[in-house]
Amino acid sequence: MTKLSVNINKVATLRNARGGNVPDLLQVASDLQNFGAQGITIHPRPDQRHIRYSDAIALPSVVHVEYNIEGNPIPEFLDLVLQISPTQVTLVPDAEDAITSNAGWDTKKHSSFLRETISTFKAKGIRTSIFVDPDLKMIEAAAKTGTDRIELFTENFAIHYKNDKEKAISPYRDAAILANQLGLGINAGHDLSLENIAFFAKEIPNLLEVSIGHAIIAESLYLGFEEVIHRYLKHLN
């Protein structure tokens, strides 16, 4: 069964645009779980332009499903995650000024750094995942860092899905097969949507979790959170 983790960054963006506490991030997280979400994901960035560090600290009071914190493991992020001790930390190589995640780790170049960082989190009992492109060499190197899982960066799949879905999925399927052979759990995220999620989930063996934010928020403007969550769960399972 593939779990659906909902990234609530865009809810925080909307709140911050007006000031105050509307929409209430904690209430949204609570409602999403009641609608069936099996995880809540946040991705705080250094400028805190959407999720604030204070949000990350407050959310465990309402999150009773898996809690996933994504981000670049700069010292402030490291301290935040160790303080909270979420279910999972996903390491993403974001530049500080990145609008959104745009590439996976070079797990060969940054092997020592990743190995050290991952060991710090795992010593605290936090499950670890590394954001990677569907590059077999990067996945082989990821396995050597001691990470529990990888998260496949799916933007390229989403871009090419409409034109040639088989060509779009092929490198991801190959990446998943190798990850399974190496004993790595498989997550996925970025630009997955109601349009492409069913095909992706069907073609990726042992897909454990998808983390989706932007599409869910956009689709919910028309359909509402409850209906959108139900549709994703139906497509995934």
Domain covering 3-236 assigned CATH 3.20.20.70 in the classification: yes
Please say if 214 is a catalytic residue: no
Please say if 235 is a catalytic residue: no
Where b means 16+ CB within 10 Å and e means fewer, 26-52 reads bebbbbbbebebbbbbbbbbeeeebbb
Q: Phi then psi for 210, rounded to 5 degrees?
A: -120, 140
Q: For a pLDDT cut of 70, what percent of the chain falls above it?
A: 97
Q: For a pLDDT cut of 90, what percent of the chain falls above it?
A: 92
Q: Mean pLDDT across the stretch 29-46?
A: 97
Listed by start position, the domains of the chain span: 3-236
Q: Read off the pTM.
A: 0.95
**Rounded to 5°, angle at Cα 202 from 199 and 206:** 140
Please say if 70 is a catalytic residue: yes
Contact 164, 201 (CB under 8 A): no
Q: Give residue-wise pLDDT tens across range 124-173.
A: 999 999 999 999 999 999 999 999 999 999 999 999 999 999 999 999 99
From the candidates 190, 209, 219, 235, which is the catalytic residue? 190
From the candidates 50, 70, 219, 235, which is the catalytic residue? 70
Q: With cut-offs at 50, 70 and 90, classify the pLDDT of residue 99.
A: very low
In whole angstroms, what is the distance from residue 10 CA to residue 20 CA? 15
From the candidates 43, 151, 209, 235, which is the catalytic residue? 43
